[in-house]
A = this chain, B = another copy of it.
Amino acid sequence: MIRVGVVGGTGYTGVELLRLLAVHPQAELACITSRAEAGTPVAELFPSLRGFVDLAFSAPEAAPLAECDLVFFATPNGVAMTQAPALLAAGVRVIDLAADFRLRDAGEWARWYGQPHACPDLLAEAVYGLPEVNREAVRTARLVANPGCYPTAVQLGLLPLLEAGVVEASTLVADCKSGVSGAGRKAAVGTLLAECSESMKAYAVPGHRHLPEIRQGLGQAAGGPVGLTFVPHLTPMIRGIHATLYARLTGGADLQELFQGRYRDEPFVDVLPAGSHPETRSVRGVNTCRIAVHRPQDGDTVVVLSVIDNLVKGAAGQAVQNMNIMFGLDETLGLAAPALVP
């Protein structure tokens, strides 16, 4: 059994992580911290966990995190970078579900996140936890930067094209639609049901923090800088990301074969038959990314449709997948169940 600690379990990625860990056959939840909720039983805050999680939230300083095999940070950006070094020094492995270790360049991190990075030296060691790209590095990683939700959906959708060099890397477009849980479980007017139900809007068009992360990953696949226009949209649903990706073809390619070949052995990427249109609900609650690739009217634009559950493959599920890899378990352990449909 892996002794697991969770720092910051009161947000949506936190409670989703608890949901998955609660039934994971090889993980034992040792402690979960929340300063604001210290002392409150987890199942009081989240009645859905009654009977599954008996722990109460601990104050961070009181939690035996250093005695864990693995600590997940499900905290706001900027927290893990202050606490991870000590845990790593104590021999604890760390998966950060926030953004602290996703960018290689500390300067760029500081620009997008509005504060200097607290441990820039760890950025080189941190492994970007997209198993479909970095599986081998994850196995031995001490510190895994769990990818963002949009970056997961976009990268999985575009990687086959960029790796194969069949599209123009300078004119990529990622039009992404996210459920509202992506905004987190925090009191805010903008994500009230009465504000964002029955409505649709783009946001952060001038620049979203996931942009440099996506660019970094795509650039690595393309072997050089990419030009990407990324427009996220707030969609009136709880869970789900639908990434609609546009790229200009530079040469001939059997796109369906290209995608199927790229992901043939991937347990959590499902390339749909030609002509398909994946629905986000088809991955509700599960760690799968479903992808369809189209070339409308046989023109020179390829359209990739990539859907994930932002809280699972886009956050907690991918974190558990990384845990499985890090600890030599079957990668799908605790993650193999069909989506909740309808």
Contacts and interface: CB of A to CB of B under 8 A. Distances in A.
Nearest to A190: B187
B277 A202 contact: yes
A321 B307 CA distance: 33
A336 interface: yes
Interface in A283-314: 283-286, 290, 294, 296-297, 299, 301, 303, 305, 307, 311
Contacts of A307: 200-201
A47 B278 contact: yes
A12 interface: yes
Nearest to A270: B50
Interface residues of A, number: 88
A192 B198 contact: no
A235 interface: yes
Interface string A148-174: 000000000000000000000001010
Nearest to A341: B48
Interface stretch (A73-81, A84-92, A112-120, A240-248): A240-248
A333 interface: no
A48 B340 CA distance: 8
Interface stretch (A128-136, A176-184, A256-264): A176-184
Contact of A47 (B177, B279, B336, B342): B279
A337 interface: yes
9 contacts: A19-B337, A173-B175, A185-B192, A198-B239, A229-B296, A229-B299, A229-B301, A230-B296, A231-B244
Interface of A: 12, 15, 18-19, 22-23, 46-52, 171, 173, 175, 177, 179-181, 183, 185-189, 191-203, 205-207, 227, 229-231, 233, 235-240, 242, 244, 246, 248, 270, 272, 275-286, 290, 294, 296-297, 299, 301, 303, 305, 307, 311, 336-342
Given A180-B193, A202-B244, 16 more contacts: A18-B338, A22-B338, A47-B279, A48-B283, A48-B338, A48-B340, A51-B270, A179-B194, A185-B192, A197-B197, A197-B238, A200-B237, A200-B240, A201-B278, A201-B305, A285-B285
